[in-house]
Amino acid sequence: MSLDPDPPAELVPSERATGPGGGDMDPEAFRDAAHRVVDLLADYLASVEGRAVFPPIEPGSIAPRFPAAPPERGEPLDAILADVERLIIPNLTHWQHPGFFAYFSTTASGPGILGELLTAGLGQNPMLWRTSPVGTELEGVVVDWLRQALGLPDTFDGLITDTASTSSLTALAAAREAAGLDVAARGLSGRDFDAPRVYASEQAHSSIEKACMTLGLGRASVVKIPTDVDYEMDVVALERAIADDRAAGRTPVAIVATIGTTSSTAVDPVDAIAPIAERERLWLHVDAAYAGPVALIPERRAAFAGWERADSIVFNPHKWLFVPFDASVLLTRRMDALHRAFSLHPEYLRTLDRTSPVRDYNEYQPQLGRRFRALKLWIHLRWFGLEGLRRRIDRHIDMAQAFASWIDDAPDWERLAPVPFSTVCFRWDPGGLGGAELDARNTAIMDAVNRTGEVFLSHTRLANRFTIRLSVGNLRTEPRHVERAWRLLRDAAAAA
Amino acid sequence: MSLDPDPPAELVPSERATGPGGGDMDPEAFRDAAHRVVDLLADYLASVEGRAVFPPIEPGSIAPRFPAAPPERGEPLDAILADVERLIIPNLTHWQHPGFFAYFSTTASGPGILGELLTAGLGQNPMLWRTSPVGTELEGVVVDWLRQALGLPDTFDGLITDTASTSSLTALAAAREAAGLDVAARGLSGRDFDAPRVYASEQAHSSIEKACMTLGLGRASVVKIPTDVDYEMDVVALERAIADDRAAGRTPVAIVATIGTTSSTAVDPVDAIAPIAERERLWLHVDAAYAGPVALIPERRAAFAGWERADSIVFNPHKWLFVPFDASVLLTRRMDALHRAFSLHPEYLRTLDRTSPVRDYNEYQPQLGRRFRALKLWIHLRWFGLEGLRRRIDRHIDMAQAFASWIDDAPDWERLAPVPFSTVCFRWDPGGLGGAELDARNTAIMDAVNRTGEVFLSHTRLANRFTIRLSVGNLRTEPRHVERAWRLLRDAAAAA
């Protein structure tokens, strides 16, 4: 159908796609192909528990199994899906496995996967209201739902980012502007202030240090405040560090408090830190990337006391809220400072919508382009309801507390940190072994357990001791998986 | 099945999920639900051409249609999918529509959507080799496939990021380290160098300026080099700017050249800029976010002459390679500098794999967590083959050149820039109208065309003239859509 009265000769109708290597997969071919992929994925999810969580793979052994050169001609779906089963699935670390106890879990819930499928197929980019009206407005709705769910006041607004790394970087960039340093415009070089400082405990996540590297503050700007025996920030040391820096002419900018540190899930005393931030007029950023969702449960909010006084809070729905990676939420009382840090108005992004009461989210974060992440969050929250999510988080905490009690009751095992949430830090210690020897034996125990493929643990160091971590957070984890981990650990210790 | 000889009393088997609000959607429930979503999405793709590309939506009208409070109880899938059809789909800007000619297109190809579905369901996070062996190694494979496809030498390595904003920020952070400024460690404040400088044309994308804001260099660090009548960087002005800065004691760090600027897709003369960068020992970053895929076609590589001498190159498969958003590729000859800019080794991320010849990609970029983007690229490249992608890109260029010829042949229309790729800049100009009046009439013409819903155009300003842009890049665009745009433009002009 030519709609032009004078169709130019050089434009002939293009071929329809009838197979690979042609044009796009047309909607019916897509339908057929996608149904096949759904079955492949459902089969994977049904079988994942039978797989080794971390399979025995030699580093560097996978890449050589793929062709070194790109395909010149298109290939049929059969060949591609066969290779998904042959080359991809056997070489995954199975984050979806109920025996995944390493790091902090990320589960991709069923409804969350549906959300990602729709996000991909609907092809949105909510950088401007105009480029995705519902992508933009639903983000506001979902962020506010989450704010309410966490029990935070409506002075908090926010946005969805990819990771806590980006959320914390965004917060610290805003902190620079809120401190009046005018860095977005003038930069940090050759200015009349010296040595910006960001205070975080020595247990804070590496993303804080990385954000400071990226932001041009440098690792040198991060003042690592000592922690107490429970790995919580020493508030007296914090006050002293700020006073010393002021006395030396340095420029305090922000304090980062962590609710649920990565190593041991320690809780910095935010209720004691917030008044210091207020008195010193420093931005207070709370990193609750892992533990944040616990605040969905009103009875468990004691750990979060004072966080409502923060300037910004990050928590990751892709961790303990079971939303597929990636989804981080930055809540803030200072959207204006984010805007000063990141707003630009090139002509090709100007729209007539700017006079209206809508927001162009790209002006509040480092990236211009944005995924439509609100969609999967909205579907996920509606499927589970807050009640369903609370119940699961509660059960995870119960499982971890039970595991902690087994450690506490076992004479040859030692718990190495409090367990405020669902992560247990521990080691085998039968007595009589020195530090290096004990570290080596615990490393061997963890490796032996991981080699069984039934569970997957990771480690950290606490007070210079090799520390095994068991973090409960996968949606599919049942008590029997935690029990099995404990059995495997004892077996490995007996054989060590 | 209790595997523990002494199962603790408090751990009872949890309920199975049988419906919403319970545990997860089990694999069979997921299978059924996902088949329904596939049909919904295939129906959407089959119907998208019948929808208004940009629907008539009042800003702020969507959010009030969602509940103000989060759902306490889980809801059934029926209710959620009904709302997808009722509230989500009618309020999208339809990037998947063949009449999408605004900005630069992003198409989510069928095979690309399948890749996103698998990415979500397989739940990977290739931040470390250990957290996704195939996610890590396939990224290396796919990046190298793309390098070969673009005709770049094997001295280029790289990684996949979310957006060109992140790719360019990453490159400029590396440039600081390559310049010996040691910013990652020491920061930019109070140092013995002054005023770092990044050179880019006045037509460079806002992401360069934003990256400099984020990196603590500030907007002040961006030296905007004038362009010639074709909006290409003036190389003489570039040399002069560098010399002036050196004479004034400032610190040149990097040059950003653009192959395919956002406003007019102008091509900076990289073959003339590269020797300057080499002589001045400045990092050369090439922004080919939009136009990069044209280099898949050997006969069209003239526009890319010299880019093989760049330190880094960004191009976005989510633009003109039809991969679902998000997918940007940063190619670089200086992975070592990226590593210096972003590497950190906290204990909880240490693995025994570090002694092996594998890479932990988180050490080369701002974020720790990472999506498994290589999977969708791999599926997409195999389905189309390079030959299939080249053919489609060629046809897009042909369609745009035809449209440009219609503009050139029409007495009341004026082309405002060269058309090196698939984007045409133009305006209606019957003669005798002043600048502001002509701008207003062209704004009205564009708005009238967009209100038809058949096509969607955006604008820019070139030489202070309101400029309508028509950018061909959607996988489904056929000659008849371009013809229709031309008819609608003429009708709107006649009615103006």
pLDDT at B355: 59
Residues of B in contact with A73 (CB under 8 A): 385, 387-388
Cα–Cα separations (whole angstroms), residue A61 to A456, B133, B328: 21, 9, 26
Please give, rounded to a whole number of angstroms, the shortest distance from the CA of B305 to a CA of chain A: 22
Residue A128: pLDDT band with limits 50, 70, 90:
very high
Residue of A118, A328, A392 best to disrupt the B interface, most CBs of B under 10 A: A118
Helical axes B374-409 vs B110-122, angle rounded to 10°: 150
Residue A350 has pLDDT above 80, yes or no: no
Residue type, B317: P
pLDDT at B342: 97
Residue of A57, A66, A213 best to disrupt the B interface, most CBs of B under 10 A: A213
Distance in angstroms (rounded) separating the CA atoms of residues B198 and B207: 13
Per residue in A42-95, pLDDT (tens digit) is 999 999 999 999 999 999 999 999 999 999 999 999 999 999 999 999 999 999
Mean pLDDT score of chain B, rounded to an integer?
94
Average pLDDT over residues A344-352: 76
Average pLDDT over residues B86-108: 98
| A357: nearest CA partner in chain B | B60
3-state secondary structure of A38: helix
Per residue in A129-139, pLDDT (tens digit) is 999 999 999 99
8 Å CB contact between B407 and B484: no
Q: Tokens representing A141?
A: 């709705």
pLDDT at B204: 98
Cα-Cα-Cα-Cα dihedral of A335, A337, A341, A342, to 10°? 20
In the A/B pair of chains, how many CB contacts fall below 8 A? 619
**Contact partners, residue B229, CB within 8 Å, separation at least 6:** none
Whether residue A326 has a cis bond before it, omega within 30° of 0: yes
Residue B346: pLDDT band with limits 50, 70, 90:
confident
Residue A470 DSSP class: E
Residue of B382, B422, B425, B455 best to disrupt the A interface, most CBs of A under 10 A: B382
Per residue in B194-216, pLDDT (tens digit) is 899 999 999 999 999 999 999 99
8 Å CB contact between A479 and A399: yes
Residue A371: pLDDT band with limits 50, 70, 90:
very high
Residue A19 has pLDDT above 60, yes or no: no
Per residue in B360-392, pLDDT (tens digit) is 999 999 999 999 999 999 999 999 999 999 999
8 Å CB contact between B202 and B225: yes
Maximum CA extent, chain B: 93
pLDDT at A354: 52
Q: Which of A73, A382, A483 comes nearest B2 by C-beta? A: A483
Average pLDDT over residues A297-307: 98
| A165: nearest CA partner in chain B | B367
Cα–Cα separations (whole angstroms), residue B383 to A31, A221, B121: 15, 48, 20
| A80: nearest CA partner in chain B | B379
pLDDT at A13: 36
Q: Which of B118, B149, B461 comes nearest A84 by C-beta? A: B118
Residue B22 has pLDDT above 60, yes or no: no
Residue B175 has pLDDT above 70, yes or no: yes
3-state secondary structure of B489: helix
Per residue in A55-69, pLDDT (tens digit) is 999 999 999 999 999
pLDDT at B9: 35
Contact A113 B133 (CB under 8 A): no
Residue A127 has pLDDT above 70, yes or no: yes
Mean pLDDT score of chain A, rounded to an integer?
94
pLDDT at B23: 56
Per residue in B233-254, pLDDT (tens digit) is 999 999 999 999 999 999 999 9
Q: Which of A74, A187, A211 comes nearest B383 by C-beta? A: A74
Residues of A in contact with B464 (CB under 8 A): none
Residue A355: pLDDT band with limits 50, 70, 90:
low
Per residue in A213-238, pLDDT (tens digit) is 999 999 999 999 999 999 999 999 99
